[in-house]
Amino acid sequence: MPVGEVMFFRSLIWLFPVLGYFAYKGALHVFWEGDLKAQTVRAAIAAVTLPCFIYAYSQLPLADAYAISFVSPFFMAIFSIPILKERVEPYMWWAILFGFCGVLIMMRPGSSVMSLGGLAAFSGGVLYGLAMVLSRKLTRNHAPLSVMVWFSVFTLLAGMVTLPFSWEAPSLFEGTLLAVTAILSSLAQLYGIKSLSILKAPVAGGVEYLNLVWGTFLGYFFWGDFPDNYIVTGAVMLVMGGLYLTYRETTKSSQTPPTACFEN
More confident residue, 76 or 204: 76
pLDDT in tens, 144-196: 788 888 888 888 998 898 888 888 888 888 889 888 888 888 787 777 777 76
Phi/psi at 139 (5° precision): -70, -5
- pLDDT at position 262 is 33
Alpha carbons 124 and 166: distance in angstroms, whole number: 22
Helix, strand, coil shares, percent, the chain, to 5:
80, 0, 20
Q: 258: pLDDT confidence band, cut at 50, 70 and 90?
A: very low
pLDDT for residue 198 is more than 60: yes
- pLDDT at position 210 is 64
pLDDT in tens, 204-226: 666 666 666 677 777 777 777 77
- pLDDT at position 193 is 75
Residues in the chain: 264
Residues contacting 262, CB < 8 A, separation 6+? none
**Of 230, 203, 237, which is closest to residue 71 (Cα–Cα)?**
237
Alpha carbons 31 and 13: distance in angstroms, whole number: 18
- pLDDT at position 253 is 58
- pLDDT at position 126 is 92
pTM of the model: 0.73
More confident residue, 30 or 16: 16
- pLDDT at position 204 is 64
pLDDT for residue 127 is more than 90: yes
**Of 63, 70, 45, 53, which is closest to residue 3 (Cα–Cα)?**
53
- pLDDT at position 144 is 79
Alpha carbons 209 and 236: distance in angstroms, whole number: 10
**Of 149, 155, 131, 120, which is closest to residue 9 (Cα–Cα)?**
155
More confident residue, 140 or 210: 140
